[in-house]
Chains A and B, each alone.
Chain A
Amino acid sequence: MRGYVVRRLVAFVVTLACVSVLVFVAIRVLPGDPVLVMAGPEANPEVVARLRAAMGLDRPLVVQYAEWLGHALRGELGVSLQYDVPVGRLIASRLPVTLPLTAMAAVFMIVVAVPLGLYAAVHARRPGDYLAMAVAQLGLAVPSFWAGLLLIMVFSVHLGWFRSGGFEGWTQGVWTGVRALLLPAVALGLFQAAVLIRATRSALLEVLGEDYVRTARAKGVHDGLVVVKHAFRNAMIPVVTVAGLQLGQLIAGSIVLESVFALPGLGRLALGAITARDLPVVQGVTLFVASCIVAINFAVDLSYALLDPRIRYE
């Protein structure tokens, strides 16, 4: 097991390196000049040229990447071209929005989806099942920006229960912060919850049809016990896989919603940075997100070993 963990850590570093090269090349290859974006179309060409030289953007790509890599290995992610603020600090300032938002969306997703999926599977082909599936269909059918806007219109404009967007910060108290993030978390988690409902239901149904389950029933084991002890654990592998995938998509999927809800999170930072060709910020955010996803995948893989004793890692 220990060898496995070590190998995974090494692979983690290699993955990050690959991602950083990919992003670097992508941003540089993409037509678009960060200085020009900052200066805008009314700018003086000479001024633009001078700024580029001052920022070192004239040098060959390899040189620029090597310099960035050198700094990154020392833990310095560079300074934002747009804001002139260290990238690390920029990312850290957005985390108090994005992390709780993602966590709340994930909680919403799991708390809604797994019980509903279980319920649907156990009551298959009966009204309860159909109702749960209808709910899932609804969640699947709505694009996130649409869901966000609808939620705002109903719960904020019409009912006045929540603010329409923005985020004051956690200084006003935990409940104020949670309230500000509630609608976007629901919009964010809605689609993934719907996916997870169906995945949970289908995984559990498969397992329930297995021979060993029928055997247990035939032996007279109580229905509920069968579900919990035998079926659930084995159904969990595909469920956990899908949940892990959805978690990754949650992180990526907040970009649109942060625009709709005007939240100062990582997604908006990344989008703004891509638009402005602010390479240090794009690199920093991508590496951070990639690290999170790799970590989640690692946890998922480890959980396979826990859930299914037949799977072993040496």
Chain B
Amino acid sequence: MRGDALALAVLAVASLSALPVAGQPAAGLVVQVAAEPPGLDLTATPASATAGVVFYNIQECLVKVDRHGKIVPWLAERWHTSDNRNYTFFLKRGVRFHNGRELKAADVKFVFERAMNPETKHPYPGYYAAIGDIIVKDDYTVTFALKSLNANFLLNLARQGSVIYPREAVDTLKSAPLGTGPFRFGEWVRGDRIVLTRNADYHVKGLPKLERVTFRFIADPNAALAALKAGDIDASLFGLGPEHVIDLQKDPRFTVIVGDTTNDVILAMNNSRKPFTDVRVRRAMTHAVDKREVLKGAMFGMGRVLGSNVDPLNPYFVDLAGAMPHDPDKARKLLTEAGYPRGFEAVLRVSPQYQYTVRAGEIIVNQLQKVGVRVRIEQIEWGQWLSRVWKDADYDLTIIGHAEAWDISNYANPKYYFRYDSLPFQELFQKSEVTLDDKARRDLYIQMQRMLVDDAPAVWLFMHPRLAVVKRGVQGIWKDLPLPATDLSEVSRTP
């Protein structure tokens, strides 16, 4: 009797689950994101979670970095400079904000003056430090007068802090941003999802191809994998690990995309703490690490080994991965020269928030042991890592990925957590910031990369690959990520 009741119960539950679930309307895309954005205002937070939802989807810039890493005209259909000091931008006509109003030069002036105003706490004030004056010539022409030469000026205008929004929407930027992008903000169900809907008046004809985009917050990569397999989501662009990607490569229902990013994963050494004050020790550490084994072990071979701090997507990249090859004998010799014939002990702090840093750490500790460097791993939680390691430089060794493009500037900052203080390098960098001739700038960058290899302030491990998995039929996802963005404007689905 009890058995019958049980069977009935199971049947009841099973029949309930046969009821149809409310489905997505046609041409919608459900994307997994690992972290919920703290807010949607790109002018207030540098969080990559925010950029992932808003940047290039809801809000756009005067110029854009396209999927090949090129700077192309966008809200400005062309620009002109004769002296590299005054840049005049000619705005596209008929571009409308999501509230219907047309984009005019006065809006551009407002956006950048607000960004330069220290009261508004813009996260990247350095981008606009060189701007002296912004002059509106007419409704569609605006000129930026720079106080000094700035080689990254155009690039900075294409980045997430430089999005254009209507002045009347400043107060709602955090919770319901307005912009000129292919998608409008739809709704934000905190803790669960953000929904964007198609902007029918988008200034690029034929785009976007999707009716709606739903970003679902799923932090656990195994849960994301399950959601993909169960058909609950259509794409995972950042949340999976290499082992999940390998698993899905065998599944004909999915398309796997492996590309390049600007995320450099490094083993940082505290240059101000013994024994890392000695360049010979730092070079020994570089020789002691077998980067290929690390890549194989932590990333299943996906990604690219790095030799210095510029990633392959950067136009000035030079491949120095072989400059300081894996050579345990040389490492031991250098350590002996530096006064550590029996090696030394150190603590490696990593944050389990980023699994690949922990995995790389375990492998590296194993490798370092073979040359006598005995390292203890300490996993600390992200908030602590930021305060103790990043802010206070209270560490011996740490492993982290630097996702920003063009971040070689960190090595020119002696107060950065590397505590690397090299006057020659700083001079080289300052020069490169004001050199606009492409060839001359490239030379400077090559010099800087080589100098970094010699000084070895850190051990550059690998470029983290772009790992994305989408349902078969989804097209238009960027293969490489020349900057951290989730551009969905050209994405479409074939049913």
Q: Which residue of B lies closest to A277 (CB)?
A: B383
Q: Which residue of A lies closest to B32 (CB)?
A: A262
A36 close to B391 (CB less than 8 A): yes
Within 8 A of B (CB), among A153-191: 153, 156-157, 160-169, 172, 175-176, 178-179, 182
List the A side residues contacting B388 at CB < 8 Å.
31
A90 close to B190 (CB less than 8 A): yes
Which one of B218, B391, B403 contacts A33 once the chains associate, using CB atoms below 8 Å? B391
Complex Cα gap A10–B12 (Å) = 47
A32 close to B384 (CB less than 8 A): yes
Given A38-B38, A42-B46, A269-B191, also A50-B121 (CB < 8 A): yes
- Which of the candidate stretches A78-86, A224-232, A291-299 sits at the interface with the other chain? A78-86
B17 close to A179 (CB less than 8 A): yes
Given A33-B386, A83-B39, also A42-B219 (CB < 8 A): no
Complex Cα gap A172–B218 (Å) = 21
Complex Cα gap A2–B139 (Å) = 77
B22 close to A168 (CB less than 8 A): yes
Complex Cα gap A169–B192 (Å) = 9
Given A39-B45, A42-B404, A44-B125, also A165-B226 (CB < 8 A): yes
Given A41-B400, A166-B192, also A47-B383 (CB < 8 A): no
Q: Is B387 an interface residue (CB 8 A)?
A: yes
Which one of B48, B229, B381 contacts A157 once the chains associate, using CB atoms below 8 Å? B229
Shortest beta-carbon distance from A157 to chain B in Å: 5
Q: Is B232 an interface residue (CB 8 A)?
A: yes
Given A176-B22, A264-B189, also A40-B220 (CB < 8 A): no
Shortest beta-carbon distance from A101 to chain B in Å: 13
Shortest beta-carbon distance from B21 to chain A in Å: 7
Q: Which residue of A lies closest to B391 (CB)?
A: A36
Q: Which residue of A lies closest to B484 (CB)?
A: A42
B220 close to A163 (CB less than 8 A): no
List the A side residues contacting B190 at CB < 8 Å.
83, 85, 90, 93, 264
Q: Is A94 an interface residue (CB 8 A)?
A: yes
Complex Cα gap A259–B223 (Å) = 8
List the B side residues contacting A85 at CB < 8 Å.
190
B222 close to A149 (CB less than 8 A): yes
A260 close to B381 (CB less than 8 A): no
Per-position binary interface string of chain B over residues 120-135, scored 1 when its CB falls under 8 Å from any chain A CB and 0 otherwise: 0111111000000000
Give the interface centre of A54, A166, A176 by most chain B CB atoms within 10 Å: A166
List the A side residues contacting B222 at CB < 8 Å.
149, 260
Give the interface centre of B175, B189, B190 by most chain A CB atoms within 10 Å: B190
Shortest beta-carbon distance from A209 to chain B in Å: 26
B386 close to A37 (CB less than 8 A): yes
Q: Which residue of A lies closest to B19 (CB)?
A: A175
Complex Cα gap A31–B387 (Å) = 6
Q: Is A280 an interface residue (CB 8 A)?
A: no
Number of interface residues of A (CB under 8 A): 62
Which one of B123, B126, B218, B403 contacts A166 once the chains associate, using CB atoms below 8 Å? B218
Shortest beta-carbon distance from B23 to chain A in Å: 11
Range class of the B interface residue count: 35 or more
A30 close to B384 (CB less than 8 A): yes
Complex Cα gap A31–B395 (Å) = 14
Within 8 A of A (CB), among B106-132: 118, 121-126
B174 close to A84 (CB less than 8 A): yes
List the B side residues contacting A40 at CB < 8 Å.
46-48, 386
Per-position binary interface string of chain B over residues 204-236, scored 1 when its CB falls under 8 Å from any chain A CB and 0 otherwise: 000000000000111110110011011110000
Q: Is B36 an interface residue (CB 8 A)?
A: yes
Shortest beta-carbon distance from B383 to chain A in Å: 3
Shortest beta-carbon distance from B84 to chain A in Å: 25
Q: Is B440 an interface residue (CB 8 A)?
A: no
Given A37-B382, A163-B21, also A47-B38 (CB < 8 A): no
Complex Cα gap A45–B16 (Å) = 55
Q: Is B8 an interface residue (CB 8 A)?
A: no
Q: Is B390 an interface residue (CB 8 A)?
A: yes
Given A85-B190, A269-B191, also A32-B386 (CB < 8 A): yes
Q: Which residue of B lies closest to A175 (CB)?
A: B16
List the B side residues contacting A175 at CB < 8 Å.
16, 19
List the B side residues contacting A161 at CB < 8 Å.
14, 17
List the B side residues contacting A108 at CB < 8 Å.
none
A47 close to B122 (CB less than 8 A): yes
Shortest beta-carbon distance from B156 to chain A in Å: 14
B22 close to A172 (CB less than 8 A): yes
Q: Is A64 an interface residue (CB 8 A)?
A: no
A36 close to B387 (CB less than 8 A): yes
B226 close to A153 (CB less than 8 A): yes
Which one of A44, A47, A162 contacts B17 once the chains associate, using CB atoms below 8 Å? A162
Q: Is A70 an interface residue (CB 8 A)?
A: no
Q: Which residue of B lies closest to A115 (CB)?
A: B2
A260 close to B220 (CB less than 8 A): yes
Interface contacts beyond A32-B381, A269-B191: sample of 9 additional A-B pairs, CB < 8 Å, sorted by A: A30-B384, A33-B383, A36-B383, A37-B382, A39-B46, A42-B46, A93-B191, A94-B191, A149-B223
**Which B residues have a C-beta under 8 Å from some C-beta of A?**
13-14, 16-17, 19, 21-22, 36, 38-39, 45-48, 118, 121-126, 174-175, 189-193, 216-220, 222-223, 226-227, 229-232, 381-384, 386-388, 390-391, 400, 402-404, 407, 415
The 5 closest A-B pairs by CB, nearest first: A264-B191, A32-B383, A164-B230, A161-B17, A262-B218
15 residue pairs of the A-B complex, CB under 8 angstroms, read A30-B383, A36-B387, A36-B391, A40-B47, A41-B386, A42-B46, A42-B407, A46-B125, A82-B39, A84-B39, A84-B174, A149-B226, A166-B192, A176-B21, A261-B223
